[in-house]
Amino acid sequence: MGRTSVSHAVVKERSGISIEELFSGASERKGGKGVWLALDSLQDPQNVGAIFRMAGFFGVEGIVLTQERSAPLTATVYDVASGGLEYVPFTQQVNLQRAFEAAKDSGLWILGTSEHAKEDLLTIKADRPWLVVLGNEERGMRRLTEEACDLLVGIAPKGRVTSLNVSVAAGVFVSRLSSLQ
């Protein structure tokens, strides 16, 4: 029997940036039509990684992560992200409400996502910079998070299944808003 050599890649963990840096120049980016994401207490590292990968694919401007009650940025997140964590700026915040204030001060509009929303994503125009907020896999957005949103929209199901995995929903939202730019 021959010997098998196994090599492992080493990924250097990235640090987040400040909330001010994340939203700096927001109203000028992509002609004032950029897209950012805020992840409100996502707990599955596979979902977080998939969202970073999708964000890197579509050119999302940045991601706000909640520091508490959220999946840590583990090797699993880096692996699933397939480069997304290396290219998409992010910040980890203790207080999501302060992040929303910083976003609004920079000219962003807060777009909440919910399967219970009365308004459909297809009615939204990409005529401004959006911070798209995605809630926890089981409970959705927290009440105060939802109340801080300028608009609350959902994705109307076409079949019998009435909800999507949060990473899939994130891709639908970003794809829609990106295609309108």
Mean pLDDT on 124-151: 93
Chain position carrying tokens 């105060």: 144
**Is the pLDDT score of 23 beyond 60?**
yes
| pLDDT confidence band for 3 (50 / 70 / 90) | low
d(CA 121, CA 129): 15
Does residue 2 register a pLDDT over 70? no
Q: Give the model's pLDDT for residue 178.
A: 87
- Average pLDDT, stretch 58-86? 94
User: What is the average per-residue pLDDT within 158-167?
Assistant: 94
Mean pLDDT, residues 39-49 taken together: 97
pLDDT at residue 75 is higher than 60: yes
Q: What is the DSSP string of 13-27?
A: PPPP--HHHHHTTTT
pLDDT given for residue 89 in this prediction: 97
Hey, where are the domains in the chain? 38-179
Give CA angle at 91 (86, 93), nearest 5°.
Answer: 150
Give domain 38-179's CATH superfamily: SPOUT methyltransferase, trefoil knot domain (3.40.1280.10)
pLDDT for residue 11: 55
> Does position 59 have pLDDT exceeding 90, yes or no?
yes
Torsion over CA: 28, 33, 36, 40 (sign): positive
Plot region of 77 (φ>0 → left; ψ -120 to 50 → alpha; else → beta): alpha
Instruction: Please write the tens of the pLDDT for every residue from 100-128.
Output: 999 999 999 999 999 889 999 999 988 89
Residue 9, pLDDT above cutoff 60: no
